[in-house]
Amino acid sequence: MNIYLKAVTKEFNHQVVIKSTTLEIQSGRFTTLLGPSGCGKTTLLRLIAGLETADQGEIYFDRQCMYSASRHINVPPERRGLGFVFQDFALWPHLTVFENVAFGLRARHCRQQLREQVLQVLQAVRLEDCARRYPQQLSGGQQQRVAFARALVTQPACVLFDEPFSALDARLRESMRLELKAMVSRLGITAVLVTHDQTEAMSMSDRIAVISAGQIEQYDRPEVIYQAPLTPFSARFVGLSNWIDDWHMFRPENASLRPLAEARSFEVTIRSSQFLGSTYHISTAFGRYNWSLFSDRRLAPGQTCSVYIKPQNIIRIERGKE
């Protein structure tokens, strides 16, 4: 399913939450809406789902119009054919895993082969042995898989995920990211994820829309956003950015504390060293900027040293793209 938003806007209490936004989410891709809290990413997801109504613009699923302000079209959420995985999983505590997953089918009066469909999707998420358990008898990762199974059982062309990993601990979050990405790829469905976690976005996505203050700053592959950010916000929000001035920056891994041929050198003052196991994270001061660097040895606070960067590794942000 291709999802196309055309000049969509949204206000709450006369405050603009989504500025005029045009975005195409390609079928079968894993697309992430990435940005800080309050930037509008969840609102954008809810507009796609029909849980919020846009003020202006149009929304299409393939060639079918789901919403049009000018033509007074607004297809309700239950008729948009989407799966939705909420931040808190939203499982019914008094229903078994089987009945939680079957809920969507029963709501749609799809009773034919209901048992077979539920067991099939539980097998896909490796929870077929938990069908008779209740949510409180499951781990956080298992509960998340139940929520995903419930979203999948109605066979949607697209599943929307609203920060689905936020309730999990760090180790489980990492394993579930890999599991969810693999499952979405295997099923070939379109997925849209909302998160403020750049690691989630970078590791899972085919495309990322970086959002700030209700507008899309950049929409591209993770590698392009990291290596060639278009705006200062994209550069700062995705990855560590070291600024030489207001329009030139570099990534920490592209700097060396040892001389490099044809490299520019910069004098910095060491602020702190943190041991990370395989390397040291070095915080330094360069004029009014703070730089993050990596070193194979601890450096003492207060000492000065030279940092070497090849010109091709210095990223220039075009003026006017604040």
Do the domain assignments include residue 210?
yes
Helix locations, 5-139, DSSP H: 41-49, 97-107, 114-124
Residues 191 and 272 in one domain: no
Q: Are residues 93 and 181 in the same domain?
A: yes
75 and 9, same structural domain?
A: yes
* Residue 26: DSSP 8-state: P
Q: Looking at residue 61, which CATH number applies to its domain?
A: 3.40.50.300
Structure confidence at residue 62 (pLDDT): 96
Residue 235 within a domain: no
**Scanning the structure block, which residue is given the tokens 């109504």?**
53
CA 155/CA 133 separation, integer angstroms: 23
Alpha helices in the chain (DSSP H): 41-49, 97-107, 114-124, 140-152, 170-187, 198-204, 222-227, 232-237
Is 231 inside a domain boundary?
no
pLDDT score for 320: 60
Backbone angles phi, psi at 167, to 5 degrees: -90, 0
Sequence-ordered alpha helix ranges (H) in 31-94: 41-49
Report which residue type is found at 148.
Answer: F
Would 237 be classed as within a structural domain?
no
Closest CA to 1 of 81, 89, 93, 109: 81
**Tokens 């007074």 sit on residue:** 72
Same domain, 19 and 148: yes
Q: Assess whether 38 and 142 both reside in one domain.
A: yes
Cα–Cα distance, 137 to 202 (Å, whole number): 32
Domain span including residue 301: 242-251+258-316
Same domain, 213 and 288: no
In a shared domain, residues 27 and 139: yes
Mean pLDDT by 10 residues, the chain (322 residues): 97 96 96 96 97 98 97 95 87 95 86 89 89 94 89 90 84 82 86 95 96 97 96 95 96 96 97 95 97 96 97 89 58
Domain presence at residue 232: no
Residue 19 and residue 54 share a domain: yes
3-state secondary structure of 235: helix
Task: Collect all residues with Cβ–Cβ distance below 8 Å to 198 and sequence separation of at least 6.
Answer: 34, 237, 238, 239
The answer to the question of residue 322 being in a domain is: no
Query: 269 and 157, same structural domain?
Result: no
Same-domain pairing of 199 and 55:
yes
Asked if residue 64 is part of any domain, the answer here is yes
Is residue 160 assigned to a domain? yes
| Same domain, residue pair 163 and 291 | no
In 66-101, which positions are buried (b, 16+ CB within 10 angstroms) versus exposed (e)? bbbbeeeeebeeeebbbbbbeeebebeeeebbbebb
203 and 78 housed in the same domain: yes
**SS3 call for 308:** strand
Helix (H, G, I), strand (E, B) or coil at 220: strand
- The total domain count for the chain is 2
Q: Which residues contact 271 (CB under 8 A, 6 or more apart)?
A: 283, 284, 285, 290, 301
Q: What is the CATH number of the domain that holds 267?
A: 2.40.50.100
- pTM for this entry: 0.90
